[in-house]
Amino acid sequence: MSAWPNAAGSTLAPEPGDAQPTTAPEVATVDTRRIGVLALQGAFARHVEALARCGCDAVEVRTAEQLENCDALVLPGGESTTMSMLLERSGLRQPLAARLGQGLPVFGTCAGMILLAESISDGRPDQEPFRAIDIDVRRNGYGRQVDSFEADINVAGLDDGPFRAVFIRAPVVTRVGPSVDVLAEVDDDPVLCRMGSITVASFHPELTDDDRLHRLFLQSL
Amino acid sequence: MAQTGSENTSSRADGTVRVKRGLAEMLKGGVIMDVVTPEQAKVAEDAGATAVMALERVPADIRKDGGVARMSDPEMIEGIKEAVTIPVMAKARIGHFVEAQILQALGVDYIDESEVLTPADETHHIDKFAFTVPFVCGATNLGEALRRISEGACMIRSKGEAGTGNVVEAVRHLRSIVGDIRKITQSDEAELFQWAKTLQAPLPLIQEIAETGKLQVPLFCAGGLATPADAALAMQLGAEAVFVGSGIFKSDDPAPRAKAIVEATTNYQDAEILAKVSRGLGAPMTGIDMDDVDVRLAERGW
């Protein structure tokens, strides 16, 4: 969702009889799978933009009805405490937990990783994770904002060069279960993990123009 | 398959523009609340605030008490940092780069170079590129916003008129900023030079807006918000998150009001949810009409 539509990108739907566009559309094949982005708080709009660049028309999810229609979901970065509270109050927690139990593919970044973990340390005592991936995390494990950083990481499965990863008050993965694949590390700490249909990153792929991780997630569906 | 391996440590960088603007991205769609004690900070966090602004007096009291308003006591900021797990912001006076240095040394997560405090320099703002910690600055119009961005601000908020409980000035500032962005996207190359002159803002930033249709950094709303409807109004006008200062802890019953404003900010387009969360919140802060305001805080900044 862009608050200010770009002058170049017309928002008018074509009417019958309108001239057909002479140039080919930027994206040749349109992805018909419905990818949701949890939009209670945080960097959800950046994920929607990244998915759009991958040819995927993602929808913002704020209600259980919107979740129902999704084939896969992105849990964005933001404040995990705020999201936990809003998950309760929007009535989304139970339906989301149920969908996770049925194998809903999810990509969680930063706060999203925290919400999907098995256990959280340095969180709020009432913060209940979904326990969808067998890792433990420590909130703000890298420190405060002045300790936030970006770095090149090598990702298993991405052969065309390192990925610039942006860490914002990021969680540290303190334990990885035996069924979890670690796809990237920083200083021996796992920063990108996958278990079955769940992929989590402690950094923010939505903050760069590099869409390779979003594409990887879409390919895995 | 590429080898999984540790990153090349030489590639590691902190305090980059992307890292500093990144935290503002994470605060989008949320509510940042002014707090003066660790107890209030807990109430704010419990209510779902994405961050708290630690200060000694809320703007309504600064307005009432008069005198010089300065950076808060480090001890008080430390107390609030210990009380909550969410980001903690603090205010420095306009141009007071030493207060900013102290706040960075304290490890606050964002500095607000704020017109709510008494300005320390009537010509210069802080060189915000010189810091690892990111800055938010107030603006009443697009020119002011772009001057702050050119000095290194990583988030812009409307100034509104802090401590009044009156949203009219925040609306004026948001409409001015968002309206001019819309007009710039319709301008031709020659008109962009004129925009730069009129707004007294760097031409490259104007050209960038003409291209993207967006401000370079997240745009939040602050100044006079007191109700869930105020927060939703700001969001519908194009703000990407809201600051609520005196509006929460100067109301009759802060905790439910804080929660309601958080829910209203998430569901700002859903009038049914807005109607539900606006019920039974007790009296909001009284508020002041603009004709009765003695000191216009929004006029501070250059």
Cβ-contact A181, B4 below 8 angstroms: no
CA neighbours closer than 13 Å in the CB half-sphere of residue B55: 30
ipTM tops 0.95? no
Domain ranges of chain A: 32-219
What pLDDT, on a 0 to 100 scale, did the predictor assign at position A7? Answer: 42
Residue range A20-31: mean pLDDT, rounded: 54
- Find the residue in A nearest to B103 (Cα): A146
> Cβ distance B231 to B244 under 8 Å?
yes
Residues in chain B: 302
B41-51 residue pLDDT tens = 999 999 999 99
pLDDT value for B240:
98
Q: Measured between beta carbons, which residues in chain B are less than 8 angstroms from residue A155?
A: 2, 4
Calculate how close chain A gets to B292, using CA atoms only, in Å.
34
pLDDT of amino acid A22: 52
What CATH number was assigned to the domain covering residues A32-219? Answer: 3.40.50.880
Using only C-alpha atoms, chain B has a radius of gyration, in whole angstroms, of: 19
For chain B, give the mean pLDDT.
94
pLDDT surpasses 70 at A20? no
Please give the average per-residue pLDDT across A38-43, as a whole number. Answer: 98
Write out residues 152-211 of A within 8 Å (CB-CB) of B: 152-159, 162, 165-169, 182-188, 204, 207-208
Interchain contact, A207 vs B27, CB within 8 Å = no
Q: Do residue A42 and residue B186 have CB atoms under 8 angstroms apart?
A: no
pLDDT for residue A18 is more than 60: no
Contacts of A207 in chain B (CB under 8 A): 18, 22, 25
Q: How large is the average pLDDT for residues B214-220?
A: 98
SS3 sequence of A131-144: CCCCEEEECCCCCC
Q: Is A110 a catalytic residue?
A: yes
On the question of pLDDT at B27 being above 60, the answer is yes
pLDDT tens, position by position, B117-165: 999 999 999 999 999 999 999 999 999 999 999 999 999 999 999 999 9
Assign A213 to helix, strand or coil: helix
Residue A2 has pLDDT above 50, yes or no: no
Interatomic CA distance for residues B265 and B13, integer angstroms = 33
Region of residue B58 (left: phi > 0; alpha: psi -120 to 50; beta: else): beta
Contacts of residue B296, Cβ cutoff 8 Å, sequence gap at least 6? B161
